Amino acid sequence: MAVGKEEVEIFKARSDKRDYRRIVLPNSLEVLLISDPDTDKCAASMDVGVGSFSDPDGLEGLAHFLEHMLFYASEKYPIEDSYSKCITEHGGSTNAFTSSEHTNYHFDVNIDAFEEALDRFAQFFIKPLMSADATMREIKAVDSENQKNLLSDAWRMNQLQKHLSCEDHPFHKFSTGNWDTLEVRPKERGLDTRNELIKFYEANYSANLMHLVVYTNESLDKIQNLVEEKFSDIRNTDRSYFRPPGQPCKSDHLQILVKTVPIRQGHKLRIVWPVTPEIRYYTEGPCRYLGHLIGHEGEGSLYYILKTLGWATGLSAGESDLNLDFSFFKVVVDLTDAGHDHIQDIIGLLFKYIELLRHSGVCQWIFDELSSVCETTFHYQDKTRPISYVVNIASNMQLYPPKDWLVGSALPSKFNPSVIQMVLNQLSPDNVRIFWESKNFEGHTDKVEPWYGTTYSIERITSSTIQEWVLSAPKEDLHLPAPNIFIPTDLSLKIVQEKVKFPILLSRTSYSALWYKPDTMFSTPKACVKIDFNCPYAGNSPEAEVLSDIFTQLLMDYLNEYAYYAQVAGLYYGISHTDSGFQVTLFGYNHKLRILLETIIEKIATFTVKEDRFLVIKEMVTKEYQNFKYQQPYQQTMYYCSLILQDNTWPWIEGLEVLPRLQAEDLVKFVPVMLSRTFLEVYIAGNIENNEAESMVRHIEDTLFKCENSLCKPLFPSQHLTNRVVKLESGVNYFYPSECLNPNDENSALVHYIQVGRDDFKMNVKLQLFALIAKQSAFHQLRSVEQLGYITVLMQRNDSGIRGVQFIIQSTVKGPGDIEKRVEAFLKMFEEKLFEMSVEEFKGHVNALIDVKLEKHKNLREESSFYWREINDGTLRFDRRDFEVAELRQLTLPELVDFFNEYIKVGASRKRTLSVRVYGNLHSSDFKAEVSQSQPTNSLEVQSQPTKIDDICCFRKSQPLYGSFKGLSGQVKL
């Protein structure tokens, strides 16, 4: 049978210069080929139409487990983990995920290694090896992944919704799998998990259920030849897609109010309706239309009313869990304490708004406006990383006809009121499921979800009950949104007079520094503006830090109903608290960007404290601080590591301590003080001319610094803020032990950080090369072979220009002290590998890293992040890549070995190490032993034994600091 190459016109964005071709191989594998001569990374994604819904009864998680197993080895490439090694060492990445009805495998890699990587990838689906030894080890990895999720509210609440559905529907299943479902229970039934795994693979992995996307710089004909050669041997057993039996909720599972206890502080309301899947009507977009209106945040919206009443701090609406056979429409409300006490009023207001939509009828002008925004978004979409692009398209291929593979449901274009009305009618009291989460329900529930242990109780609610809530709800002025003034109409591109390669310092005054970079790469009508408010008084105490945080969140709160229209129209903004003050960011279409920017600056200049909103935001911030202890243990280790290393930072517990006594008048007094001395670091990039950029900054200066009764004065030279990092002592291994803040968490974690030194091109490339070579070896040894834990990472670290490398491992099987021994054992093993490395191997690694460095930015946001990091750190090496590539070309293998011996090797005399150990409840005895352990006294013992940090603040004050790159005498380093 010949390869099919039907000429299907695949609809693509006007700005898309790539070429596409659909082919069908003789084995019925459907493929999309993408040729992009400009790409410097190649990628592929295989989407298999089999997921956790196909798990055999009593083997929950088998599809997910199979996804893990295919990475290990194949008959053609039997060396374990050689696929991942090949990709990582050639500057790439690889991953996979299992959903209800699909399993997606994907990778990207440097161009020169693509053919080999693709061949290895294809063997997953031809002849994988699933050894007994690897099977047992990877069951532990799946179990570790599940352990990571057990205290996550998102996972717990998702499973509870599944649990309260038809038991004979696959939606009801537990999809992840764990030790119990993949080892203990099968054994009890006399089943061999490996045999079941092979049976599942052979029964379900058929070429006719697969969709492949391949993305390279080659011509379509060359890609086609490559794909035919690599993928034609995948078996086609002509399997049918698994189709679930309709909606998973019958009458027993509807009209229920479920009260449940979350892990974190806070209250949340989830209102859920089973609805007709939008995928059946994706050009009509019924759920998109309804989600746009019910989730709107402008004046008169449901959220606006709930916010005004002080009952909610967030609301989202839209479709979820979608497939061809069923889906849900969800409205999720983040409640305040007062909102928790008015739950019936909130549900009443929601149904009141739904009733308003019914009476108003489906509005063509709203649909047309939404359609227009979607069309602009699609045609002016940013180019993304090839790996993200292929995953998205491969997923679309399972759901949409070929002409819409690139579009999916992104372009609702057919106005069909009856379809929207049909879904709107399904959002009824008869059809609703309400999930109400709060710690207040602790001790008042009578049921337990079996997989995550979530406690809950169920009450029946009738339509008449909800109708009573509607009638008794507050008589607020709910209405439809106004026409959106922020929709861009001028999408023309500015003419760039000179091709500026790097940001330039366009202006500098005592008030601000303006860095400017016109778009010379992406040709999109978009811009990026970042304004860093450097305020010395914003972070000089725990109180100041908390008040700065409340200030930024109040600013966002005040702007929300106005600026939400901008976000709908593709113009995004954010105001966030930083260590040195706060930052304003705008990104999106440049046409109306200045209107939004000037509104934000005006709000800052005229900031007033509204006590009712202050109390709501203070409550929200308090819960954020309280919930810190529910972070994953590995996140806690990273936090402590930063707290130890970074000067002038405050422990979260001190912020939590000061919060209860802060009042609105404290913020009233604080804001003028915070803003009284300010310096603005500004970055403006994209489709904006230099005179426009200068004009924007002049307007900001005039508003904040130069008007009558101005808020701000420039900084004194001595006040320019620095970012300084602790310089660890050479030859000393420091460690900081802490119990996990959540006593119920069984996971322990370690961050093993090795500090190398200040930003220096030659040193940087040695560190980067070590990380590139060691990354996959570390993952394979510590995660795949030793099974320490699902989260096992080796990565570089950069603290304000101070470079290093860190191992991050989370585990239930070993405590942090034992994990540290395994890290050191790995480094000794790696030392042998490095010493045995040939010059040819070394050159291959160097070339791979050069390719990574020469990779072009994909879009304006990515480019802006890169340059902003240089500005924010104060390093200002916009030409960093060019210089580091030059250093790499001259680097020799002996120099890399010398670097390893001096900075990384276990016991190296100049090595500077910090280990942060967080102990979960399974290893609490290890923690007690470590805390009671006495410190060594003689000099020989000191050299060989790690040095314990008892008090972070005392330690930090006693240590020398690296010099700051930023803020020296208020001067900009050029």
Q: Which residues sit opposite 779 in a β-bridge?
A: none
Of 175, 106, 172, 102, the residue nearest 142 (C-alpha): 175
Q: Which residues sit opposite 793 in a β-bridge?
A: 808
The three-class DSSP label of residue 687 is: coil
The three-class DSSP label of residue 490 is: coil
Q: Which two tokens stand for residue 720?
A: 């320019």
Query: Do the Cβ atoms of 147 and 746 come closer than 8 Å?
Result: yes
Q: In sequence order, what DSSP letters do the residues of 5-18 get, joined into one string?
A: ---------TT---
Which one is catalytic: 67, 183, 701, 820? 67
Taking only Cα atoms into account, the Rg of the chain, rounded to an integer number of angstroms, comes to 29
Phi, psi of 69 (to 5 degrees): -70, -30
Angle, in degrees to the nearest 10, between helices 611-626 and 542-568: 110
Exposed/middle/buried for residue 801 (C-beta within 10 Å: 0-12, 13-18, 19+): buried
Place of tokens 């590998």: 833
**Residues shown for the chain:** 974
What is d(CA 165, CA 542) in angstroms, rounded to the nearest whole number? 47
Place of tokens 């790439």: 92
Q: Which two tokens stand for residue 329?
A: 């429409």
- Asked about 831 being catalytic, the answer comes back as no
What is d(CA 570, CA 591) in angstroms, rounded to the nearest whole number? 11
Query: Do the Cβ atoms of 799 and 756 come closer than 8 Å?
Result: no
Q: Is the dihedral of CA 477, 481, 482, 486 positive or negative?
A: positive
Total Cβ atoms within 10 A of residue 188:
10
Question: Which strand (E) or helix (H) includes residue 645?
Answer: helix 633-645
Q: Which two tokens stand for residue 565?
A: 């229209």
Exposed/middle/buried for residue 107 (C-beta within 10 Å: 0-12, 13-18, 19+): buried
Q: In sequence order, what DSSP letters do the residues of 708-741 get, joined into one string?
A: TT-S-BPPPGGG-----BB-PPTT-EEEEEEE-S
The three-class DSSP label of residue 403 is: helix
What is d(CA 420, CA 291) in angstroms, rounded to the nearest whole number? 11
Phi, psi of 313 (to 5 degrees): -120, 5
What is d(CA 842, CA 89) in angstroms, rounded to the nearest whole number? 11
Taking CA atoms, 821 is separated from 378, 815, 824, in Å, by: 51, 10, 5
What is d(CA 479, CA 349) in angstroms, rounded to the nearest whole number? 12
Which one is catalytic: 30, 60, 80, 138? 138
Phi, psi of 9 (to 5 degrees): -80, 115
Phi, psi of 766 (to 5 degrees): -65, -45
Query: Do the Cβ atoms of 61 and 55 come closer than 8 Å?
Result: yes
Of 223, 232, 201, 221, the residue nearest 44 (C-alpha): 223
Q: Which two tokens stand for residue 128?
A: 């994988």
What is d(CA 10, CA 496) in angstroms, rounded to the nearest whole number? 33
- Asked about 654 being catalytic, the answer comes back as no
What is d(CA 232, CA 122) in angstroms, rounded to the nearest whole number? 9
Total Cβ atoms within 10 A of residue 555:
18
Of 30, 38, 663, the residue nearest 402 (C-alpha): 30
Of 388, 371, 367, the residue nearest 379 (C-alpha): 371
Q: Which two tokens stand for residue 29?
A: 């594998």
Of 424, 388, 371, 419, the residue nearest 568 (C-alpha): 371
Catalytic residues, by residue number, are 67, 138
